[in-house]
Chains A and B, each alone.
Chain A
């Protein structure tokens, strides 16, 4: 059972925007940086956002991250069919002294 909660799925038409929430607590998101990962079926997760809102080289600016208190949000604008994937948030939990991931969200392009 994950300590970070995400919606199971979100969907939108091509070109539209989706947001994915990641809800935690004061011992994880409230106190630590959040990262986001994109995972296509049968492949390893890929870093999408780190330090709450920074994009690694090669990640388009259609992807954005934000954090407020004990929640974080991933935004995807200009949605493309190639964005259909599972998305996970991640951070550190100071109470557990362990890394934690969100429950995961499947993005569907209608």
Chain B
């Protein structure tokens, strides 16, 4: 059974870089047909799709954060990561990693989520 787990600092200072890693177990991130996603949700608000990295290395980004986001994959450790630069309080959210099925764009499963707070 595929499982995803986010990890990273829960507190980041304004203007710093937010870095999160998602560890995937129960399946390989190199399998064709799948991409690996980061999604966030500010408290009390809706879901925001951030970015994906696909099995072939292709990446796609939400235009609203594209200039600040890097997504990468470490196939040897079956992990993928998110870096978000120049963070502000508006980047405070629960961050989820998930599998994105590329042929029809559904997302499953999801990690449990990790709260990242941007504050000095």
Chain A residues in the interface with B (C-beta under 8 A): 2, 32-33, 35, 37, 43-47, 50-51, 56, 88, 90-92, 96-104
Contact = CB atoms under 8 A, between A and B. Distances in A.
B60 A98 contact: yes
Interface of B: 37, 39, 46-49, 52, 60-63, 96, 100-101, 104-113
A37 B49 CA distance: 13
Contacts of A97: 60
**Chain B's interface: helix, strand, loop or mixed, by majority?**
strand
21 contacts: A32-B105, A35-B104, A37-B107, A43-B112, A45-B107, A46-B108, A46-B110, A50-B108, A56-B108, A90-B105, A96-B62, A96-B63, A98-B49, A98-B60, A99-B37, A99-B49, A99-B52, A99-B62, A99-B100, A101-B49, A104-B46
Contacts of A98: 49, 60-63
A104 B52 CA distance: 21
